[in-house]
Amino acid sequence: MSETKPVKYVNTPICVDFDYTPGKATSNFLRSIKKGQLIGSVCPDTGKVYCPPRSYSVETASPMTEIVELADTGMVYTFCIVNIKFYDQAQEVPYVSAYILLDGADLPIMHLIQECEVEDIRPGMRVKAVWRDESEWTESMENIKYFKPTGEPDAPVGEIMENIRSKSHA
Amino acid sequence: MRDIAIIAFGQTENKRTERLLNEAEMIAPVVGDLLKSVGLKRTDIGFTCSGSSDYLAGQPFSFVMALDALGAWPPINESHTEGETAWALYETWVKMQADEEIETALIYGFGRQSMGSPREVMTLMNNPYLEAPIQPDTISQAALQARVMIDKGIATEKDFAEVAVRNLKHAKSNPLAQCSGDFDAETLLKDPTIASPLRKHDCPPITDGACAIIMAAGDKARELCKRPAWIRGIEHRIDVQALGQRDLSECPSAKLAAEAAGVSKGKVDIAELHAPFTPQDIILQKALGLGDDTVINPSGGIHQGNPMMGTSLVRIGEVANRIINGEADRGVAHGSQGPCLQQNIVTVLEGE
């Protein structure tokens, strides 16, 4: 047998367009954030406030009809420091992705933290949303550019998270 | 073998486009109503299994997002089949055979073809290196199959149209049907072809929908349901992948699955066939050995609605419901996926 060369790659571009339907609860959230307001939904069984809101409780499947407005301030629950860029990444490294528990919410949302040294970021650190200019607001989470430290004293993160967990149905 | 039955089936209305709700919001009311109908709480369910495809949803892990509909806390015993939901029901049946502690199970399926272009999306199930790049869509592939049948003298275009006429007529009594009505084959044949020899009436509708089934074992089933639809046989087989290797006018995998499931062991009162295209209905009747004494697709079959990935579970549910309410004593539900009926699953259901 003569020596064969492997076919190293085939180029088969695929493009399929989808017209996504976010559903009632997420549509409500997106309409709200366009106006600069964060909202959550309340579980009728546990009292937990979910942000972003859902139509049905994640823990009990009960319909969640009560909507509450939430502050754009909160605390860092946990975070990571990204040091290596991935393909097409717009963010300059190092940057920080964090789970942020908004004041009044029981489920943290993911966002960026900037305007501070990465080594200063810690669980319990108080942060506040930095919004884009109002003229740029759309139905997008990107209306918030990132969160920045407020300089307030740290929140008791362990106590707060323990309190949230105790709301769960056994 | 452990006796396992279907005790309840429910589904959403079959809609061309569901623009308001997301997956979880579609599924939650179906599952909630179904549990209530048999007097179970969500925490009573021993095993949960779903069927769906991320390709249809256009988003990764769409089945994980659908879990929001279940209230999966404390964490539940759950699995998922990336494909048609009849296979999720099969997985559940196998699981219940192996684990006698599981007395009840919930199976749900959902599909939303409206979000993408089904013809484009379905080309992606072909061989990714050699076939998918030339985009052989499902309608073209089914048309090849129809052409082979005509060339071999097995059926005519009028025979195909008659399948649609029968399905759409049956669908008139289905309150959740997307398409129904009285038509005649001669008139339908005046329509132009989409991919010759197939016309619009030969093709499945594009549907958004969700469906769910509750299964129970032995005395638990008898306790929760007056007349459970017992699973007497459930088998699946698959044909070879390359269409060129198959005689497209036949479906050996469906025939083998039907034999293994014991379809011919008794009279078949009703049969629901998962034949996305009308010629496949004719192929399947022969493969399953169904005669004139069997009512085919009493629900309206694929023409009444095609919530893809849930469609095969709807077939099982439609047969089960007719046994549960006493309309039929023994029935057969068929499910399929893949191009030109590549994979087939056959379930035989019976009342006591």
Q: Are residues B345 and B308 in the same domain?
A: yes
Instruction: Give the Cα separation of B306 and B204 in Å (integer).
Output: 7
Q: Are residues B50 and B166 in the same domain?
A: no
Q: Are residues B74 and B174 in the same domain?
A: no
Q: Are B110 and B52 in contact (CB under 8 A)?
A: yes
Q: Are residues B32 and B171 in the same domain?
A: no
Total length of chain A: 170
What region does A70 belong to: left with phi over 0, alpha with psi -120 to 50, or beta?
beta
Examine the pLDDT at A50 and tell me if it is beyond 60.
yes
Alpha-carbon distance A119 to nearest alpha carbon in chain B (angstroms): 34
Residue A80 lies in domain: 24-165
Scanning the structure block, which residue is given the tokens 């406030």? Answer: A49
Beta-bridge partners for B334: B346
Examine the pLDDT at A110 and tell me if it is beyond 70.
yes
For A5-24, what is the mean pLDDT? 90
In chain B, what residues touch A55 (CB-CB under 8 Å)? 24-25, 28
Instruction: Give the Cα separation of B94 and B91 in Å (integer).
Output: 5
Look at residue B65 in the predicted model and tell me its pLDDT: 83
Q: Which residues of chain B have pLDDT under 50?
A: none
In chain B, what residues touch A7 (CB-CB under 8 Å)? none
Q: Are residues B299 and B275 in the same domain?
A: yes
Q: Are B279 and B343 in contact (CB under 8 A)?
A: no
Enclosing H/E stretch for B235 = strand B229-238
Q: Are residues B113 and B253 in the same domain?
A: no
Residue B85 lies in domain: 4-117+206-229
Q: Are residues B53 and B99 in the same domain?
A: yes
Six-digit token string for B39 = 């007097």
3-state secondary structure string across B325-350 = CCCCCEEEEEEEECCCCCEEEEEEEE
Six-digit token string for A74 = 């909160």
Q: Test A18 with B112 for CB contact under 8 angstroms.
A: no
CATH at residue B49? 3.40.47.10
User: What is the DSSP code string of A30-65?
Assistant: HHHHHTT-EEEEE-TTT--EESS--SB-TTT--B--
User: Omega into A94 within 30° of 0, i.e. cis?
Assistant: yes
Q: Test B59 with A12 for CB contact under 8 angstroms.
A: no
Examine the pLDDT at A170 and tell me if it is beyond 60.
no
Between the alpha carbon of residue A52 and those of residues A47, A96, A124, B287, B343, the distances in Å are: 15, 21, 21, 50, 40
Burial class of residue B262 (count of CB atoms within 10 Å of its CB; 0-12, 13-18, 19+): middle
What's the number of domains chain A is made of?
Answer: 1
Mutate to test the interface with B, among A21, A26, A46 (most CBs of B within 10 A): A21
Six-digit token string for B179 = 């398409």
Q: Are B218 and B230 in contact (CB under 8 A)?
A: no
Does residue B25 sit in helix, strand or coil? helix
* Domain assignment present for A18: no
Look at residue B242 in the predicted model and tell me its pLDDT: 87
Alpha-carbon distance A36 to nearest alpha carbon in chain B (angstroms): 23
Q: Are residues B140 and B93 in the same domain?
A: no
Q: Are residues B126 and B83 in the same domain?
A: no
Closest residue in chain B to residue A54, using alpha carbons only: B68
Examine the pLDDT at A143 and tell me if it is beyond 90.
yes
What's the number of domains chain B is made of?
Answer: 2
Q: pLDDT tens for residues A63-81?
A: 999 999 999 999 999 999 9
Nearest beta carbon to residue A56 from set B68, B129, B133: B68
Q: Are residues B184 and B215 in the same domain?
A: no
CB burial readout A40-77, b (16+ within 10 A) else e: bbbbebbebbbbbbbbbbbbbbbbbeebeebebbbbbb
- Give the phi and the psi of residue A22 in degrees, each rounded to 5: -75, -15
ipTM of the complex: 0.88
Alpha-carbon distance B72 to nearest alpha carbon in chain A (angstroms): 6
Examine the pLDDT at A169 and tell me if it is beyond 80.
no
